[in-house]
């Protein structure tokens, strides 16, 4: 039985990855921050299953700024694979809290790699990088060889972490990989991300619980995929004979305006009647034409996206309707 350790296990990607690893027979350990509530909705099924939690799934309290607790957990669990998914991942928010974004996302990653380097048997390590490392890209589409050119504090922090993963891989001979993830959504997406904000608003408007949807620039384009499919590629990366970096993307871009239409269409609503522009939601800098080339992942990992944006909007709308009417 393999053992995996996951940071960000209670997040969107972490919860899908946990399900995948448990299905594959792993022993799964997760690092979580201590909070005033024990509610972990994305892991509720596993957390409340006595045959899983405490037997094949374990949660450990730590913080990315606390190297002592992280080191202790790593030494206790002795993972075969380490998936680092945690960090301050909201791009817009990073302009407001650049210092803590860099501390958690950049230095937090470096801190973990230093601890792993000291282990007698360092685990295979995956860092969830981001399309934001390309920022204002010099070429379109972007692949693993595209130069980094971030234009946000989050992008800068991820670029640092991504480069350090490569340094540790090449300088120390470690099995360290970057999953360069383009936008990936799901019904488990947090409410402060635009796709979930849209689907929740559409359902609330349909149910008479909300009257309008306030957004910033809706002409911004994104390469949107399905999170559940992305974690399958992350796992596949650590099953290879050699460590490497991979872009994970759909290779297609869609505007926020398009997603608005797809989401409201599911409920028979015209989004134009409910949308209101508020410039306060516009980012100080927004990347243009970030389009991923995942041909290497297809060639080496046998991975490619399957879920269309219309399918994704339908999944999210159905989930939000069920949650709000149960």
Tell me how far apart the alpha carbons of residues 21 and 28 are, in angstroms, rounded to a whole number. 7
Told to judge if 132 belongs to the known catalytic residues of this protein, a careful annotator would answer: yes
Which residue of the set 16, 83, 154, 182 is catalytic? 154
Give yes or no for a contact between 120 and 140, defined as CB atoms under 8 angstroms apart.
Answer: no
Give yes or no for a contact between 42 and 10, defined as CB atoms under 8 angstroms apart.
Answer: yes
Told to judge if 130 belongs to the known catalytic residues of this protein, a careful annotator would answer: yes
CA-based angle 77:102:116, to the nearest 5?
Answer: 25
Which residue of the set 26, 83, 89, 132 is catalytic? 132
Can you tell me whether residue 102 is helix, strand or coil? Answer: helix
Which residue of the set 15, 129, 130, 152 is catalytic? 130
Tell me how far apart the alpha carbons of residues 172 and 174 are, in angstroms, rounded to a whole number. 6
Tell me how far apart the alpha carbons of residues 225 and 185 are, in angstroms, rounded to a whole number. 6
Place of tokens 């939000």: 320
Told to judge if 168 belongs to the known catalytic residues of this protein, a careful annotator would answer: no
Strand partners, 124: 81
Residues forming the active site: 130, 132, 154
């Amino acid at each position: 039985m393999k053992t995996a350790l996951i940071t960000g296990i209670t997040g969107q990607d972490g919860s899908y990855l946990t399900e995948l690893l448990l299905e594959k027979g792993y022993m799964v350990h997760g690092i979580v921050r201590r909070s005033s509530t024990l509610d972990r909705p994305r892991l509720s099924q596993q957390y409340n299953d006595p045959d899983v939690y405490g037997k094949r799934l374990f949660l450990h309290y730590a913080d990315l700024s606390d190297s002592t607790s992280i080191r202790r957990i790593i030494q206790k669990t002795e993972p075969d694979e380490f998936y680092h998914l945690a960090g301050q991942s909201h791009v817009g928010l990073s302009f407001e809290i650049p210092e803590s974004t860099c501390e958690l996302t950049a230095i937090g990653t470096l801190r973990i790699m230093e601890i792993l380097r000291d282990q007698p048997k360092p685990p295979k390590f995956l860092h969830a990088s981001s399309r934001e490392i390309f920022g204002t890209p010099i070429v379109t589409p972007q692949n693993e060889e595209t130069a980094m050119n971030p234009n946000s504090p989050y992008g800068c922090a991820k670029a640092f972490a991504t480069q350090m993963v490569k340094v540790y891989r090449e300088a120390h001979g470690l099995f360290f990989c970057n999953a360069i993830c383009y936008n990936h959504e799901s019904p488990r997406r947090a409410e402060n991300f635009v796709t979930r904000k849209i689907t929740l608003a559409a359902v609330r408007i349909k149910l008479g619980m909300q009257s309008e949807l306030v957004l910033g620039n809706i002409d911004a384009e994104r390469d949107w995929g399905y999170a559940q499919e992305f974690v399958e590629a992350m796992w596949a990366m650590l099953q290879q004979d050699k460590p490497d970096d991979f872009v994970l993307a759909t290779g297609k871009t869609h505007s926020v305006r398009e997603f608005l239409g797809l989401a409201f269409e599911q409920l028979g609503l015209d989004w134009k009647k409910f949308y209101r522009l508020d410039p306060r939601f516009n980012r100080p800098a927004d990347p243009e034409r970030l389009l991923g080339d995942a041909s290497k992942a297809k060639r080496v990992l046998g991975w490619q996206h399957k879920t269309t944006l219309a399918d994704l909007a339908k999944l999210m709308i159905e989930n939000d309707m069920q949650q709000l009417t149960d």
